[in-house]
A and B are shown apart, each in its own frame.
Chain A
Amino acid sequence: GDSVTQKQGQVTLSEDDFLFINCTYSTTTYPTLLWYVQYLGQGPQLLLKVTTANNKGISRGFEATYDKGTTSFHLQKASVQESDSAVYFCALVEATEGADRLTFGKGTQLIIQP
């Protein structure tokens, strides 16, 4: 079955630092790859979607890309702010009969030091 590996459990940065989070995936189909963000006390919310058609997604200063050759996808931001402190999940979409099932990575907690 599909799988996603997200190895970075925690990333600590200072404001204006560059953020880079990486996930690898395994699937037999054309992937749709997602990034969700979860702020403290809230449910996850969709941040970005990347497909084989668009290769890249951009939202709120974040950019998501994927590399078919290495079966990996990345989330990056040029200059993080304290308000970006959250947990970031990568996820792989599996379209099954009647619904889209998501396989999530373990999450990366982003801590921004003031």
Chain B
Amino acid sequence: GGIITQTPKFLIGQEGQKLTLKCQQNFNHDTMYWYRQDSGKGLRLIYYSITENDLQKGDLSEGYDASREKKSSFSLTVTSAQKNEMAVFLCASSPGLGDYAEQFFGPGTRLTVL
């Protein structure tokens, strides 16, 4: 088995601030994902990466940057936090393609912008 660790668990920022969220996985999975979860809106894909140093935009990439410098880690940066923004950011990993490879999720980082 493996685990996905997301840090920090809670993140409080100010409007306009640049904020970075981190994700680590020890599954040795190739593919990693960042999703945003808003109440009542399900999960929306921000960025994903199929291998080290690869980045692919999802449906919600505007306002975000990502970085995959190692196979085991995937970082997400909110480039300019929006006032009153509240959401949970979920990181996931999967082994890659092949008869749907299950995505395993971390516990999330809860963002609040004052």
1/0 per residue, CB under 8 A from A, across B31-63: the answer is 101000000111111001011001010100000
The residues of A that contact B42 with a CB separation of less than 8 Å are 6, 89, 104-107
Separation of A95 and B98 alpha carbons in the complex (Å): 9
Q: Determine whether A13 belongs to the interface, using a CB cutoff of 8 Å to chain B.
A: no
B66 to chain A, nearest CB (A): 14
Whether B90 lies near A43 (C-beta < 8 A) is yes
The residues of B that contact A111 with a CB separation of less than 8 Å are none
Q: A43-B108, A45-B105, A46-B103 are in contact. Are A100 and B97 (CB under 8 A)?
A: yes
Whether B97 lies near A98 (C-beta < 8 A) is yes
1/0 per residue, CB under 8 A from B, across A10-40: the answer is 0000000000000000000000101000000
Separation of A42 and B50 alpha carbons in the complex (Å): 24
Q: What band does the interface of chain B fall in when counting residues whose beta carbon is under 8 Å from A?
A: 20 to 34
The residues of A that contact B105 with a CB separation of less than 8 Å are 43-45
Q: Determine whether A102 belongs to the interface, using a CB cutoff of 8 Å to chain B.
A: yes
Q: Determine whether A41 belongs to the interface, using a CB cutoff of 8 Å to chain B.
A: yes
Separation of A49 and B99 alpha carbons in the complex (Å): 11
1/0 per residue, CB under 8 A from A, across B12-46: the answer is 00000000000000000001010000001111110
The residues of A that contact B48 with a CB separation of less than 8 Å are 99, 101
Q: A44-B90, A98-B31, A99-B56 are in contact. Are A104 and B43 (CB under 8 A)?
A: yes
Q: A42-B107, A45-B105 are in contact. Are A101 and B45 (CB under 8 A)?
A: yes
Q: In the complex, which residues 82-99 of chain B have their Cβ closer than 8 Å to any Cβ of chain A?
A: 90, 92, 94, 96-97
B38 to chain A, nearest CB (A): 9
Separation of A51 and B48 alpha carbons in the complex (Å): 24
Separation of A6 and B101 alpha carbons in the complex (Å): 23
Whether A102 lies near B45 (C-beta < 8 A) is yes
Q: Determine whether A58 belongs to the interface, using a CB cutoff of 8 Å to chain B.
A: no
The residues of A that contact B96 with a CB separation of less than 8 Å are 98-99
Separation of A49 and B94 alpha carbons in the complex (Å): 15
